[in-house]
Amino acid sequence: MAVLPVLHWPDSRLSTRCAEVTEVTDELRQLVADMLDTMYAAPGRGLAAPQVGAMLRVFVMDCGWKTGPRNPRICLNPDILWMSKTRVSGPEGCLSIPGVTAEVSRARAIQLRWMDLEGETHQADLTEFDAICAQHEFDHLDGVVTFNRLSPEARARAEAEYLA
């Protein structure tokens, strides 16, 4: 297991849609283990494969580990099946845009479906921070970063802060 380097915006890989996972291999299992090591070392609560240069539809998250035991969720080929109309806004940070926190509006609740490393399909209703984290990581798989979720004015301010 290893801590991988995290790509920083504006690396073009962070703006690229990722490919579906077609097979669970030993290489994929190693990538996921390394992603977990990287996320915990950062210390973050989520990490998507393109953030470490792997252009696959994979993300890991563990929203509660900083205040409780580790309970990672490994999501291969995730899909958001439903999003609530109720929105919540809050500060979001990103390991690929270090030092910048931006106010982002997200669905308060989602229904997420994904496959695990054993090839089993799972589905869960996520709310609050779990839903926000999953939406953030899911965005990465479609080449969307926090800056893309901001108004033009807020984006200009956040980019200026990041590039300063």
- Domain membership of residue 153 (yes or no) is yes
- Domain membership of residue 124 (yes or no) is yes
**pLDDT tens sequence across 13-41:** 999 999 999 999 999 999 999 999 999 99
103 assigned to active site: no
- Per-residue confidence (pLDDT) for residue 66, from 0 to 100: 86
CB contact at 8 A, 84 and 94: no
- Domain membership of residue 5 (yes or no) is no
User: Residues of the chain whose pLDDT is less than 70?
Assistant: 1
Q: Report which of 77, 90, 2 is spatially closest to residue 39, judged by C-alpha positions.
A: 2
Q: How many domains does the chain have?
A: 1
- Per-residue confidence (pLDDT) for residue 85, from 0 to 100: 97
- Domain membership of residue 156 (yes or no) is yes
Domain of 148, in residue numbers: 12-163
State both tokens at 64.
């509660």
- Per-residue confidence (pLDDT) for residue 40, from 0 to 100: 97
- Per-residue confidence (pLDDT) for residue 65, from 0 to 100: 87
Give me the catalytic one of 103, 118, 137, 159.
Answer: 137
Q: Rounded to whole angstroms, how far apart are CA atoms 129 and 90?
A: 10
